Each structure stands twice: as C-alpha cells, then as structure tokens.
Amino acid sequence: MFLRSLAVLVAANVMNNRVAPRLAPLTSAVATAALVAMARRTGVSWQELGFEHGRRGAAAGGALAAAVAAGYTAGIAIPRTRPLFHDERALSLSRARALEEALLQVPVGTVLLEEVGFRGALYGMLRRTRGTAAATAVSSALFGLWHILPAIDMARANPALGALTAGESPSHLDTARVVAGSVVSTAAAGVLFCELRRRAGLLAPTLLHISTNSLGYLYARLAAPPKD
C-alpha cells in the first residue's frame, strides 16, 4: 500500500506541475481522498492521520503564520533581500489570477495534498510500522524530492535565486544548485512540519504552509520594482 501511495503522489506531482496546473485543486482533492482511503485500509486511525488537537493546532498555526508575515515584511524592507521576492510567476498574473492562486490553488491544489499526503497518510502508515523517527525521516525526504519540478520553475522565474549561487547570471549549473538547495530545504521543512503535526495535529503545519506560500504572492507584488 505504501508503494501505491507513492505512485499516487508521483502522478499528482506530474499532473499539477506539467500536465494540468490549473486543475491542481481537483487533482489534489482526488489524490488526497485516495491516500486517506489507502491509509485507512491499512488500519491507520483518523487520529494517526493527524486529525486531532484542533484548538492547539489553530493556535500554533496562527502564531506561526503571523511570524511568516513578519519575516516577509522584514525581507522586502531590506534592500539586499528584497530581490529574492521578485517572482515572475506571481508578477505576470492578473489580480484575479493572483487571488485564485493564493486562495484556491495554494490551499487546495498544493497544501491539502502535501500535508494530508506526507504528514497524514505516509507519516501515519510509516509511524505505525516503523516508528516516529523513520516516519519523519522518510516522509520528509520524499517531501524534498517532491519539490524538484517546482524548484526548476522557481529558478527560471526568480533570477535572483540562481544568481545567488554564483554571483552572476544563472546558468544550468546554477539552476541545478537551486533545485538541490530546494530539495534539502524542503526536506528540512518537512521535519519541522512532522514535529508540528506530532504535537498539534495536521492543522498547525497546514496553516504555516498556507501562509508561507499564499503570502508569497502578496509580497512578490509589494517587492516588485516600480514600472518605468
């Protein structure tokens, strides 16, 4: 069942990043339902899936979301870090499309599947058979690899990230470095999210995840250089 879960995640990743990105909310909802059904068939309870500690999760997640907003505000206020928020994927969108991304595509198309898939179903199945440490390590490593395709797009859309790796215009090697850095950093974030999920249920990492991604669209616009 674990390998079947991985197959579902791989298919959803390709669909959402290459085949039909605008249909990501539908794809992710279907994939999430399939993963939950698979986990339940192996005997994983709703509590083991992370559907618990609602109030604690809301409080922790809300506080972390506020910290993200504060960090982003500081980031665009500092000239040296402001270019890192310049993302052509966000800046090329109309206001309506940006709102769609922030309010629909991110929460449903991205975060729902990633949190329930990696911190819910995979984590729950692994923890039941292999223990907490293995569940955290494996689900977080897979979460890092999950971000290869999005990282390629990010490197192309945000030249400042590629230039950081070599101090010049980004090349294919710089893109590879950005991708490798994204895999490592998101795997590390996965460890944090797993710990949040263990202590406060799925709601805490979900709120942190949504704020990190959705607020990126707002701050990309705030950090955009003035038009001539």
Going from N- to C-terminal start, the domains of the chain cover: 2-222
Angle at 165 between CA 159 and CA 168, to 5 degrees: 60
Q: pLDDT value at position 35?
A: 98
Q: pLDDT value at position 91?
A: 86
- What is the pLDDT confidence band of residue 88, given thresholds at 50, 70 and 90? confident
* Whether 215 contacts 69, CB under 8 Å: yes
Tell me which of 168 and 10 has the higher pLDDT: 10
* Whether 140 contacts 191, CB under 8 Å: yes
Q: How would you label 149-162 residue by residue, b for 16+ Cβ within 10 Å and e otherwise?
A: ebbbebbebbeebb
How many other β-carbons are positioned within 10 Å of the β-carbon of residue 28? Answer: 24
- Tokens 């309506």, located at residue: 96
Q: pLDDT value at position 81?
A: 93
- Tokens 């794809």, located at residue: 27
The pTM for the full model equals 0.91
Give me the percent of the chain exceeding a pLDDT of 90: 79
* Whether 114 contacts 210, CB under 8 Å: no
Residue 138: half-sphere exposure toward Cβ, Cα within 13 Å = 19
Tell me which of 20 and 154 has the higher pLDDT: 20
Residue 46 pLDDT greater than 70, yes or no: yes
How many other β-carbons are positioned within 10 Å of the β-carbon of residue 16? Answer: 24
- The values of phi and psi at residue 174, to 5°, are -65, -40
Mean pLDDT, residues 62-89: 94
Residue 12 pLDDT greater than 70, yes or no: yes
Mean pLDDT, residues 144-152: 94
- What is the pLDDT confidence band of residue 175, given thresholds at 50, 70 and 90? confident
Residue 127 pLDDT greater than 70, yes or no: yes
Mean pLDDT, residues 55-69: 98
* Whether 181 contacts 166, CB under 8 Å: no
- Tokens 């409080």, located at residue: 59
Residue 171: half-sphere exposure toward Cβ, Cα within 13 Å = 4
* Whether 105 contacts 24, CB under 8 Å: yes
- What is the pLDDT confidence band of residue 86, given thresholds at 50, 70 and 90? confident
- Tokens 């292999």, located at residue: 130
Choice among 88-102, 184-198, 205-219 with the minimum mean pLDDT: 88-102
Q: pLDDT value at position 164?
A: 55
Three-state secondary structure of 79-92: CCCHHHHCCHHHHC
Q: pLDDT value at position 181?
A: 93
Q: How would you label 125-138 residue by residue, b for 16+ Cβ within 10 Å and e otherwise?
A: bbbeeeeeeebbbb
Angle at 114 between CA 109 and CA 116, to 5 degrees: 105
Residue 172 pLDDT greater than 80, yes or no: no
